Structure 1
Amino acid sequence: MFLQHLECSACGRQHQWSRLQNLCLSCQKPLLAIVDLTAAGRTLTRESVATREKSLWRYREVLPLPRDVEPISLGEGGTPLLHAQKFEDNIDLWIKDESLNPTQSFKARGMSVAVSMAKYLGATKLAVPSAGNAGGALAAYAARARLEAHIFMPRDTPRANIIECRELGAHVTLIDGLITDCAAEIARRKREEGWFDMSTLKEPYRIEGKKTLGYELAGQCQWQLPDVILYPTGGGTGLIG
């Protein structure tokens, strides 16, 4: 592992990676994981990646979990890049099919890495506000890690997403309001309940899982990136990664 420290995205203050962290202790802004890319690049090469398993953990050198620790994985990553032949006459369009991740969305990438680190650093109860896919991903990876998952969802969340979380063993609380109200409820109760907050940009490692989308895309395009990438931004962790 070549993770050096966590760094505040706003004020630049450095934090130890070896303890559970949410936001910067100085300004309460998001933390970013800083990796020694030069050292990682000595073993993480195009040739070495090609021989590894088709999961996001093939990029282990630039991911935060210590090398001797088993990741919390369900086989996420390694999704196909499909040619959209219907548009072949006027545009060369390719689609990265993230629905083939274990929980059917790219949220599996972030939660695999974030739950792995949360467990390694001692968290036992994880909480997240969600209107769907993030909740399902946390429920699945927390179950895999044998950790408690507490998911707060707006009451009008699609029934399928609510059932998914409950069937995976998560504690689901429905809130009359928006996802921001769900986040506020977690913030109000997390210290008393002992929850570690896994909300978007309130912990540093979901981004680390999402960044593997970029590595995969580069490899699938023979290391020449497309002219344009269309990305559904959502909360922003994938785009930042």
Structure 2
Amino acid sequence: MKFLNWINLRLALMLALVVFLYSFTSARNSHRKLLKTEVTFVGNQDNFISFKTVNKLLIENKKDVQSIAKSDLNLKRLENLINKNPMVEKAQVFVTIDGVLKAVVKQRVPIARVFDGETTYYIDYEGNKMPLSNLNTARVLLFLGEINTKNKKQLTEVLKFVYDDDFLKKNIVGMELDANNDLQMTNRNFDYQIEFGKMIYVEKKFKNYKAFFQKAVLDSSLYKYKKINLRFNHQVVCTK
């Protein structure tokens, strides 16, 4: 019995020592100063927000990151500050073991540039407005027309379909939505107008267009047409 009590006592002392050392180390670590900041942009696209802008938000405009103690950090607040930037989709902020305050930033993805009267802006992959950037200009198709709550969802699906398709992304450079909610599109290398019609049967219409293009480009007949009509989802009607 005494032997068991001695073992229990030793275990209790060891546990207390571990807790003390952990608490002491954590306390010392929390009062340590940060070493540096590091900003990483994820995704293969141009930066629409600068490292300098994100870094200022990280250190909250303090002069030097090395003057900030870990205990003074509110990582959730820093994430919220970065996420409020209109170019950012999502940010994660954390501190590494060696004292680096790090931000991993995913930028919003523009899929079209809208000209709406006197204003211009991007539509991002989620269908939301995104301002232009002073750093880079996105190479996306140009859109003319009114975007409202009634047509936004359908239009976003069409724009995403074009953006996600390598052929269409290179081929389609402009879209216009008329008062009847009919879409017209322009081609990069040819003068014809693409009459897409209503924003329905999107996949089928684009499939028809791609099949027609691949066939017509072989005999150079694409130069003869003024209009390519995709309104009828079972056929492509061409006008010279």
TM-score when scaled to structure 2? 0.25
Q: Taking CA–CA contacts closer than 8 Å with sequence separation of 6 or more, which of the two structures ends up with the larger relative contact order?
A: 1
TM-score when scaled to structure 1? 0.25
Larger of the two Rg values belongs to structure: 2
